[in-house]
Amino acid sequence: MSSIFVLAGEASGDLLGGQLISSLKKESPSLKIWGVGGAKMRQEEFECLMPMEEFQVMGFREILFRPFSIISQFRTLRNQILERHPDIVVLIDYPGFNLRLAKSLRKKGFQGKIVQYVSPSVWVWGKGRIQTLANNHDLLLTILPFVPPLYSHTSLRTEYVGCPVIEDIQKYEQSPTPLTIHPHKKILGIFPGSRRAEIENNFALQLEVAKAIVRDVPNFHVAVSCSQPQYRKLIDEYVNKAQLGDNLTVVEGNETYPLMEACDIALAKSGTVTLELAMFRKPTAVVYQVDRFNRFVAKHVLRLNLTHVALTNLLAKRFIQPEFILEPFTKEELIGAVKGLAVDEGVRKKCLEGYEEVADMLGKKKASAEAAKAILSLIG
């Protein structure tokens, strides 16, 4: 019986992993699939060695203060793979951990196939990771169409399998669940992120913007997405401090897409959510504050100098969604951008036209099915 190890270290990877496992089982029902995953993966026929929730690490500071825990997890998983020797190891996104795991497996003599599902942001972190992938992996599956050419000078097999966002939204649209938040007001949707550090770094500022919109733009209500139930208490703490009262509603994670469908404009952290909102055709401003330590590392140690960071803007190679990320900005500038999305039809039209262009670039491939076929092609 063929065996595949799958690892997802965060919520977005867990969603991809659940879809992938389902597609793998459809193609090859006898497959043994095991590894690390979250709730979506555990819903499938999947042997979970360790819950994904133990891997919620992001940012340089967290790595510095949790080194022993991370090293222990790393060694445990590596040794399990070496002992059980699966035919294929599939590592989903989460590059800081996964690239090191792949490299360590090769050093220890692992002879099975290694697949990276979702390319690291090599356009951000530089070309060193391209060669690291080429040296240790057999297949790279990308979910953004501009990625394969970045690896064309290597021998690494690289395939664009489609963007999972398209698949997710198509599935939702087959049986939508309309969300009525406030029937007589427009909705500002706020998407603070799925990890504690994202919420702690960005949500207070997002709420300040929300207060300004409610105060200055007539007929607006605020709806906040709480995508992970374990952070509901944290979300509520920030909401209570903001004192927006009846002008704000918190929406649970299983209603994220209904909220995207219902909102008129959005304020979101950087990441996949920006593409999701684009495919729902919602004018969106993107903010991703990092603390001073992480900003210092990014700007002065890694020397990042990027024109665009938000995925929608990266695809279009121009600013479709106003973004406020690594460069210093003021609260007033962010408020002004969100107000523009709310009241300026010219700004909204430009944003929506850009979304059509991005949708054409992404195409309509079913990512999980394409990824499953590519992975299974590695089994002789």
Query: Same structural domain for residues 93 and 196?
Result: no
In 3D, which of 214, 179, 201, 227 has the Cα closest to residue 294?
201
Per residue in 145-186, pLDDT (tens digit) is 999 999 999 999 999 999 999 989 998 999 998 888 888 999
Q: What is the mean pLDDT of residues 141-147?
A: 95
Query: Same structural domain for residues 198 and 152?
Result: no
Of all residues in the chain, the percent with pLDDT exceeding 90 is 72
Query: Same structural domain for residues 148 and 228?
Result: no
Taking the C-alpha atoms of residue 357 and residue 179, their distance in angstroms, rounded to an integer, is 28
Query: Same structural domain for residues 147 and 208?
Result: no
Residue 123 maps to a domain = yes
Q: What is the mean pLDDT of residues 207-224?
A: 97
Query: Same structural domain for residues 12 and 29?
Result: yes
Query: Same structural domain for residues 201 and 340?
Result: yes
Query: Same structural domain for residues 252 and 273?
Result: yes
Query: Same structural domain for residues 152 and 211?
Result: no
Per residue in 34-76, pLDDT (tens digit) is 999 999 999 998 999 988 877 655 444 444 445 556 778 888 9
Residues 297, 339 contacting (CB under 8 angstroms): no
Taking the C-alpha atoms of residue 89 and residue 278, their distance in angstroms, rounded to an integer, is 32
The predicted pLDDT at position 185 comes to 96
Query: Same structural domain for residues 105 and 193?
Result: no
Structural tokens at position 363 = 């195409």
In 3D, which of 362, 370, 319 has the Cα closest to residue 341?
319
Q: What is the mean pLDDT of residues 244-252?
A: 95
CA max distance for the chain: 64
Residues 77, 50 contacting (CB under 8 angstroms): yes
Residue 312 confidence (pLDDT) above 50: yes
Query: Same structural domain for residues 315 and 358?
Result: yes
Residue 176 maps to a domain = no
Q: How many domains does the structure of the chain reveal?
A: 2
In 3D, which of 264, 272, 297 has the Cα closest to residue 362?
272
> Can you give the three-state secondary structure of 99-125, one letter per residue?
HHHHHHHHHCCCCCEEEEECCCCHHHH
Which is more confidently placed, 95 or 62? 95
Residue 305 maps to a domain = yes
Query: Same structural domain for residues 369 and 346?
Result: no
Residue 109 maps to a domain = yes
Amino acid at 136: N
Q: What is the mean pLDDT of residues 103-111?
A: 97
Residues 273, 263 contacting (CB under 8 angstroms): no
Residues 158, 140 contacting (CB under 8 angstroms): yes
Taking the C-alpha atoms of residue 310 and residue 333, their distance in angstroms, rounded to an integer, is 17
Task: Provide the pLDDT confidence category of residue 96 given band limits of 50, 70 and 90.
Answer: confident
Residue 171 maps to a domain = no
Residue 93 maps to a domain = yes
Beta-bridge partner residues of 157 = 139
The predicted pLDDT at position 292 comes to 64
Residue 172 maps to a domain = no
In 3D, which of 276, 264, 267, 257 has the Cα closest to residue 343?
264
Residues 242, 206 contacting (CB under 8 angstroms): no
Going from the C-alpha of 131 to that of each of 85, 157, 375, the distances in angstroms are: 25, 13, 21
Domain with residue 52: its CATH number is 3.40.50.2000
Query: Same structural domain for residues 207 and 285?
Result: yes
The H or E element containing residue 295 is helix 292-296
Residue 228 confidence (pLDDT) above 90: no
Helix, strand, or coil (residue 284) = strand
Residues 110, 86 contacting (CB under 8 angstroms): no
Residue numbers of the domain that contains 45? 3-162+365-376
Residue 179 maps to a domain = no
